[in-house]
Amino acid sequence: MDEKVGATVCYRHPNRPTRLSCTECNRPICIDCSIDASVGQKCPECAAPVGRARVIDARRTTGRRSGFTGAPVTRFLVLVTVAIYLLEFLSPEFSRFISGQAFRNTVTGAIFYEPGIFEHVNASLAQGEYWRMATHALLHASTMHILFNMYALYLFGPELERRVGSVPFAFFYVAAAAGGSAAAYLLGPITMIAVGASGAIFGLFGAWIYVSWRMRHTPAGQAQFRQLSVLLAINLALPLFIPNVAWEAHVGGLLFGAAMAAVWGAFAAGKPQAEQRRSAISAAFLAIAILAVMVL
């Protein structure tokens, strides 16, 4: 099988000029031969599963999908996160239970804070309350906070879920949130208390930046990589201008997301039982985050 690096025509259709190439073998492919993978596009040979099966490109049978179509986990995450935020407005008792409460000592005048059961609290993680590494992603400090995070989840979540599968995506989201929480625990002060899905959202950034980097030899990949890099740089710079932003969680989620996408590409893309492999990989990253908090 000859590899035609630098060719300008599809290796399967010599009469079709193209600037696309397979991210696995680098052979030039036209749009009809391109098959979406978790790390870019592949030729039919590299995308073919092992065994008696054939590849069916969903784009040719159902067309491009948008919104929450085919992304039930993303839809569920948005609905639950928004519902919890609204319930906190409607029920002060519920808000105190999951988000905590500040109160003033009537004798000394000092202000104390009693955390809820969902928040990221470094002191509580040190006591073994590891569920907080995921549940903090369901809470938000303000309307702008939740609007920004849920809009980002809407933009970047559904397409990733459609590409990798709903179960792997659910593990990915939780693992990215836990990775951000672990970074906040390891790099932040013991007094740190934080809420928000930003760690998980930056995990999505990390995954898509890795995918676009793998596609950087194509015009579409180059454009996507530049756009995401600019957007990422702006978001990473926000803590310089906005106080009380847990940048540690942003960096941790970003690194976990990029790392999970890279391992997916190496050990799951194009392999048999790819969804199960992705789920296992993300579950392993979740375990790594928890172990980091337990041990370090």
The encoded tokens of residue 263 equal 């391992």
* CA distances for 172 relative to 39, 123, 165, 176, 267, angstroms: 15, 25, 11, 6, 15
Cα distances (Å, whole numbers) of residue 80 to 86, 99, 138, 240 = 10, 15, 8, 31
To the nearest 10°, report the CA torsion of 229, 235, 237, 239: -160
Choose the catalytic residue: 21, 198, 212, 282: 198
Contact 37, 23 (CB under 8 A): yes
Using the structure block, give the residue that is written with the tokens 């054939």: 54
Q: Does 136 participate in catalysis according to the annotation?
A: no
Q: How many CB atoms lie within 10 A of CB 231?
A: 15
* DSSP, residue by residue, 84-127: HHHHHHH-HHHHHHHH-EEEE-TTT--EEEE--SSSEEHHHHHT
Q: Say whether 145 is catalytic.
A: no
Q: Which two tokens stand for residue 7?
A: 């060719």
Tallying the residues shown for the chain, one arrives at 296
E strand or H helix that includes residue 52:
none
Residue of 95, 250, 279, 282 marked active site: 250
Residue where the block lists tokens 């997301």? 257
Point out the residues that are catalytic: 198, 250
